[in-house]
Structure 1
Amino acid sequence: MLTQEIIRTKRDGGELDPADIARFVQGLTDSSVTEGQVAALAMAVYFQGMNRAEAVALTLAMRDSGEVLSWPELDRPVVDKHSTGGVGDNVSLMLAPIAAACGLAVPMISGRGLGHTGGTLDKMESIPGYNAVPDNALFRKVIASAGCAIIGQTGNLAPADKRFYGIRDVTATVESVPLITASILSKKLAEGLGALVLDVKCGNGAFMDNPDRANELAGSLVEVATGAGMPTTALITDMNQPLASAAGNAVEVANAADFLTGKARDGRLLDVTLALVAEMLVSGGLATDADEGRTRALAALEDGKAAEQFNRMIAELGGPSDFLRDPGRHLVRAPLISALSAGREGYVSGYDARGIGMSVVALGGGRTRPGDPVDHAVGLTGLLPVGARVEKDTPLALVHARNEDQVAMVQRQLRAAVQVSETPPDRSPVILGRKG
C-alpha cells in the first residue's frame, strides 16, 4: 500500500495491516517517508487511535528497525524502568544504581526533554566528561562492572522511533496513547530486557492529566508489552506537583547526589523511587513481594552501595571519579540565583506543575524545537511540597538564571504556578494505582 493510502486508511478509521505498518516504519528509517507524511499519520492515529494488534505491530516494527540487544554474558536479571515524563522527575538517577546494588542489571536507555518535561539524558550530560552515547562495547562493559548505565538512544537502536519522537513533539501529537506506547516499548524491547516497570504520571504536570487517561496509557503499555512478549507492570503516580524540590538539569543531578549520599531526600521522591525499585526486584525474581523489595532497596540506599554504583557508572562513562564526593565542584552553575518569596502567610496548596516545567524551558533548560541546545545550569531549586507552611518572606523557590531579565520573567511565571492558601490542603497519595 502506498504511504498516502496508509494515511488515508487510518484517517478514515480503518485498521492497518501489520505489513503496511512495517512498510511505513521502514520509510521512517530510510527517510523515504517525508516529515509531512509522518506528521499526517501521527495526527490520524491521534484522532482515530489504534487497536492492540496495530499497536503491537507498530512497536515490534520500530524495535526491529535497528539493533536488538541481548545479554547472554550477564548472570543477573535484566530489568529497566521508564517514566512517561514529569517535572522534577529525576527518579532514574537514583533508581538505576539502587536496583544494581540489589543485584539487577539495568541498561537504561533514556530520552531527552519532551515539551515541558525534563529528559534524563540532558541531566546526565550536565556531568562533565560523561559519555551519554557510548559504543556498544563500552555500554556492555559498564553494565557488567557497575550493574547499570544511563545512556542515550544510539542510531542503531530503534532508529525509526528516534525520528518519530522528534516529529511528535512539534506536531501536537505527543499525547496519543498508541504512539506513546510504541515509542516507549520499541526502545525497551530493543534493550533485550527480561522485564520492565513503568511509571505512568498523572496530573497537571503529566502528558496524561487525568486518572482516566493515565489508566488508559498504563493499560495500553502493559497489554502491548505483554503482547510483544515482555512481562511488564506499571505504577500510576501523582504529578500534580514537582516530584523533587529541583527542576532543571544540573540542579536535578545535584538533588540526586544529595539523595544517594543521604544529605537530603525529598519525601515523595523517596516513596516513588523505592516503590519502583521494589517492582523491579519482584519482576526480576529477587524479591517475593513489594514489601520485601522496598526493604532491600532502602537497605542498598542507606548502606551506601547505591551511591558506590552511581559513582562507578559515572567514572566508567568518562565522568569524574570523585563526583559524589563534591558534586558542586563539577556541575555547572548559573551566574544568578534569586529567591521568590511567598509574599503572604499560609500553606502551599497546589501547583501548576506544567507551568513549573515551562519556566525551566523559558530559562533555556528545555527545548521548544528538536535539536535546540539546552542550558544545563539553569533551573529551580527549593521548591516546597504541597502542604508546607510559609511566612511572607519564605522562599517558594530559588531561580537559577543567566540574567536579571530571565529572573523577572520566571518569577512572574512562578507566581502563577504556585498557590498559597490560608488553610492546609488535604494530603494526597503519590502512588495512585498499579497495572499488571
Structure 2
Amino acid sequence: MQKHRNILILLIGIISGATLSLCSSVLAEKDTPPAKAEELQTLPFDELRNFTEIFGRIKQDYVEPVSDKKLLEDAIRGMLSGLDPHSAYLGSEEYKELQEGTTGQFGGLGIEVGMENGFVKVVSPIDDTPAQRAGIKAGDLIVRLDDKPVKGMSLADAVKTMRGEPGSEIVLTVVREGAEAPLKFAITRDIIKVKSVKHRLLEKNYGYLRISSFQSGTGQGLIDAVNDLKKENEGPLKGVVLDLRNNPGGVLNAAVDVSDAFLESGLIVFTEGRIKNSEMRFNASPDDVIAGAPIVVLINGGSASASEIVAGALQDHKRAIIMGEKSFGKGSVQTILPTSNGAAIKLTTARYFTPSGRSIQAEGIEPDVKLARVKLESIEKTKFESIKEADLTHHLANPEKTKAPDESKAIDKDNDDSAENDDAEKNTRDYPLNEALNLLKGIGILKH
C-alpha cells in the first residue's frame, strides 16, 4: 500500500510539473493559442509507470539512503544530457557561476588555476587583482585555504572556496619553488573583472586583437581596444589580426557585436528552431571601426560557437581572410531558462546559420588559408653552421688577410654569438601569427 501511495504522489508531481512547463511555454510564445485539453492528456503513462517503479526500487533497495531531491535532480540531469552534449541542468550554484562567466565579473582573488598532484596550481595571476598585488606567482601550489587542506578537494570546490563576497579575507598557504618553507598570503577578495579582449601593436601600422571568450561586454571591449591601438600607432591601422584560437564561444549577442564592428551592412547570422521565438536575424549597422583595413582571423580546432559565428560572417562577406585550422563545428544555440527553485536549464533551442545559409554544425569553418601545427624557431649557430669556402681543406688564402686574428675581436665575436643566442631564444615565434602578419603586409603591397 505504501508503495502505491509513493507512486501516486510522484505521478501527481510529474503531471503538475509538466503542466507548469506547458503553461510557461505558452507565456513565452505569445502568438501560440492555449493548449487544448486533449493535448494535455498525451502524457506517456507507461513510461512514467516504469520510471516510478525504478524510483521506488532505488528508494527501497539501494545500499545507502538517497533523498528524493537528489534522485529527481539526477533524473532531470540525465534527461537533458541525453538530448545533446550542450543541454544541461544547472543547479543554483552552477547557474550563478554561468552568470558570472558571461558578465566577466565576480567576487574573488583574480587567479587562473588548475590541478596538479591533488593541489591547486596557479596558472597565472590576473593583472591588477588582489592575488597579483599580494604577490601570488604563476607556478605556486596552493596547499591550504584558510585552515582547510586542499588535498582531496575538487577544483570546483577549491574555486568556490576562493570566491566570495568582496571585502572578505582568505589566507592562502602556498608552496613555491625555491622557498624554504610554505608562504602565507592574507588576501582580501574584490570584484574581479576579466577582460575578454587583449590587444597590442605587432609592429607599426599592424594591430593584434585577441578575444579569449565572448562575454556581455566583449563588443565594446573590442571597440575600445581598436581605439587604443590607433592612438598607440598615431594613426589609422593598415591591418589587424583577430585571434579567435581556443575561444570556446559565449554570448550570441557578443559575437554579433564583434562582427558588426567590422561590417557596414548585411546579414551577420540567423537562427532557426521549432518555436517562433527561436527564429532571429541579426544585421550589421553602418561604420567599420578600422575603415576597411584588411583583417586576418586566426582559428583552430578549439574555436567554437560564437567564434565560428564571427569567422563565418566575416568569411561570407569577404571582409576577412580566415587562417589556421578547421574550427570545432558547434552550430547550435542554447537558451538559459530559469526555474522556480533558483536553478536553470540550458536547452538547445535553435541552429544558427552564416549569412550565406551555411550550417557549420559538426562541420566547422574551413579556413581560406590552412596552416599546419608548427612552431617557428631561430636555429642557433652553435647547433648548425653552414659550410663555407674557408672551411675547405687547402683552401686558397685571401692575400688581403695575412695577419693573425686579433684576440680582442675573437672575444668580441664570442660575446656577439652569446647575444645572438639570447635573441634566438626570445624570437621563438607564434607561427600562425607570423604568417597572418606577413599576409597583411602582402595585401598592403598589392593595394599599392
Please classify the TM superposition score into its range, dividing by the shorter chain length: under 0.3
Q: What TM-score do the two structures reach when normalised by structure 2?
A: 0.20
Larger radius of gyration: 2
- If each structure's helix is expressed as a fraction of its own residues, which one has the higher value? 1
Give me the TM-score of the superposition, normalised by structure 1. 0.21
